[in-house]
Amino acid sequence: MKLSDLRDLLASHGLRPNPRFGQNFLVDPALLSRIPVDAEVEVGDDVLEVGPGAGALTFELLKAGAKVVAVELDHGFLRLLRERFVEELEDGRLTLIEGDILGPDETMHPQVEAWWAGLDRPPRLVANLPYAISGPFLGRLPGRLISGATLLLQREVADKAAGPAAKEEWSPLSIRLHFAFEAQTGRRLPPEVFWPRPKIDSAFLQLRPKDTALATASERALSEVLRFAFGQRRKALLGRLGKEYPHWASALEAEGVDPKVRPGAIVPAVWRAALARVEST
């Protein structure tokens, strides 16, 4: 959808982009048409889209033959979507859910959870994510079954999620994503292809599930320990960890972790080896 078309569509519904919801719409038709291809969407795929806005990406996903569940928080845009996609809503190719995709305790919207649980095969995730929820949304993906994800994010978030650069530290999110997915950044987009223009560059993050992903119970145990470990990321880890999670402190020490090291300097392979030690005790 071109910028002029988007402006006209919003004006006809009395709408404008709402900064509170992080609405920056992709207005390059060529890029929009490429997203389902890059996401490897096939006819009949179940796709979750978060923040559809005016439906530009929704249209491309439906054109590619996907069955789309789209979650929109802004009631005005939800009304627009219902008017724009009457036929697709009636025949079941599109389902609209109103509300926040983020549920409590790393869950998603209850209707999304029910939809996900009822699928015969894992869904694909394709979205131009509102910047404000990108980290929390990514944190809800490890431990879930997905066919793949193609997410448009802030460039900095996408780069860190794909794994830190040589001199950067790991984070709880990047460690958990590393265990669950093959993560890589894709096409990078300048502010000029969005309206309104964000102040930062954006990039696609592509996630493909690993055969070696942690079991759900293991992922939850690791996530809990990482939350504690990184609660004071600038302090030495093992002394603090020993008071709350002594088995983990012993396991990391057995893996050769220096008692003075900070959590961000510990690579995922060491965390996984420590997890195996803890689970074997």
| Cβ-based neighbour number of residue 84 at 10 Å | 17
Does the model's pTM come out above 0.75? yes
Reading the chain (281 residues) residue by residue, the pLDDT tens digits are 899 999 999 999 999 999 888 899 999 999 999 999 999 999 999 999 999 999 999 999 999 999 999 999 999 999 999 999 999 999 999 999 999 999 999 999 999 999 999 999 999 999 999 989 999 999 999 999 999 999 999 999 999 998 877 668 999 999 999 999 999 999 999 999 999 999 999 999 999 999 999 999 999 999 999 999 999 988 999 999 999 999 999 999 999 999 999 999 999 999 999 999 999 98
Number of domain units in the chain = 2
State the residue range of the domain holding 174: 3-209
Contacts of 31 (CB under 8 A, 6+ apart): 187, 189, 193
Cα 57 to Cα 69: distance, rounded to the nearest angstrom: 12
Long-range contacts of 259-264 (CB under 8 A, 24+ apart): 260/236, 261/236, 261/237, 262/169, 262/233, 262/234, 262/235, 262/236, 262/237, 263/170, 263/226, 263/229, 263/230, 263/233, 263/237, 264/169, 264/170, 264/171, 264/230, 264/233
Residue pair 2/195 in contact (Cβ under 8 Å)? The answer is no
- Which CA distances in Å does 85 have to 59, 90, 94, 98, 122? 9, 9, 8, 15, 25
Q: Which two tokens stand for residue 202?
A: 């954006």
Residues 172 and 41 in one domain: yes
Q: Which two tokens stand for residue 100?
A: 């926040």
Long-range contacts of 6-10 (CB under 8 A, 24+ apart): 6/54, 6/56, 6/195, 7/195, 9/54, 9/80, 10/54, 10/80
CATH number at residue 258: 1.10.8.100
* Residue that finishes a domain, picked among 146, 177, 209: 209
Exposure string of 21-34, with b = 16+ CB inside 10 Å and e = fewer, is: bbbbbbbbeebbee
Residue 153's SS3 state is: strand
Residues 110 and 172 in one domain: yes
Cα 155 to Cα 240: distance, rounded to the nearest angstrom: 33
In this predicted structure, what is the pLDDT of residue 168? 82
In this predicted structure, what is the pLDDT of residue 4? 94
Residues 129 and 233 in one domain: no
In this predicted structure, what is the pLDDT of residue 166? 63
Q: In the chain, where does DSSP find H-type helix?
A: 3-12, 29-38, 56-63, 75-84, 86-90, 110-117, 134-138, 155-161, 172-180, 216-229, 238-244, 246-254, 268-280
Residues 149 and 116 in one domain: yes
* Residue that finishes a domain, picked among 209, 230, 255: 209
In this predicted structure, what is the pLDDT of residue 263? 95
CATH number at residue 118: 3.40.50.150
- Tally: H helices and E strands in the chain: 13, 9
Residues 229 and 184 in one domain: no
Contacts of 269 (CB under 8 A, 6+ apart): none
